[in-house]
Homo-oligomer: A and B are copies of this chain.
Amino acid sequence: MKNVLLLIFVLFSFYNFTEAQTKPYLTLADAQRINAAATEKAKTEGWNVVIVILDDGGNLISLQRMDGVQVGSIDVAQAKAKSAVFFKRPTKVFEDAMKAEGGARIATLPHAVGVEGGLPIFKDGVIVGSIGVSGVTSAQDGIIAAAGVAAY
């Protein structure tokens, strides 16, 4: 029984999603390419950051913390990325809106983060995930995130 269940599990693991009615999605290879481009930009600038890639459900595909980055950036990068994929927009959009009107109203939205550094990732107009960066200034975080998305 245990083996049958294991077999079923293994079969599901190999299930070819692309043959079914499909949506595009980020593979680990995609995430690694995005992460590598963001990392290269960060190193070039001498900026140490946490880089997070989420799937379209807001669940982690990858996270990488460079040496010496403040611990708080682990959760901040995840929060930015979650905001970006949950609302299909850059966290910079919330930052600008919250600066324009004070922000408390928009902050009542669950998962809305008003600090630059989170970007949604689209393929053919469909959301497939997001990137979140934290560790330096929010504008610098945003530059690194953009370098990552550009590699997708």
Which A residues lie at the B interface, using CB under 8 A? 6, 9-10, 12-15, 17-18, 21-25, 27-29, 46-48, 55-72, 74-76, 79, 83, 85-88, 94-95, 98-99, 101-115, 127, 135-137
Contacts and interface: CB of A to CB of B under 8 A. Distances in A.
A102 B103 CA distance: 7
B60 A62 contact: no
A127 B137 CA distance: 19
A108 B105 contact: no
B60 A57 contact: no
Given A29-B18, A79-B110, A71 B85 contact: yes
Nearest to A85: B71
